[in-house]
């Protein structure tokens, strides 16, 4: 799970804890250095998922990338 800073002109129009589906473009931003920023292209509200949490991988998890 990874979170992106997002850029959207009307973000403050959403109530706290609003769930959304969005489509965006990853762009280069700056926050104490260069970082990826998601520029929102489309956004719509949705219902909270049945299980909104990211769970710890089980023992059968196989990583697909290694960070050195």
- Residues of the chain predicted below pLDDT 70: 1-2, 65-68
* Residue 45 structure tokens: 């509200």
Among 56, 33, 37, 41, CA closest to 9: 41
pLDDT score, position 68? 56
The number of residues making up the chain comes to: 68
Domain boundaries, the chain: 5-46
Q: How far apart are CA 16 and CA 54, in angstroms?
A: 20
Which residues in 5-41 are b (16+ Cβ under 10 Å) and which e? eeebeeeeeeeeeeeeeeebeeeebeeeeeeebbebe
pLDDT score, position 27? 93
pLDDT score, position 50? 92
């Amino acid at each position: 799970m990874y979170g992106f800073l997002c850029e959207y002109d009307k973000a403050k129009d959403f109530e706290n804890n609003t769930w959304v589906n969005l489509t965006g473009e990853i762009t280069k931003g700056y926050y104490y250095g260069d970082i990826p920023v998601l520029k929102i292209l489309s956004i719509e509200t949705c219902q909270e998922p049945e299980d909104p949490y990211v769970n710890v991988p089980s023992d059968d998890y196989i990583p697909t990338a290694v960070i050195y």
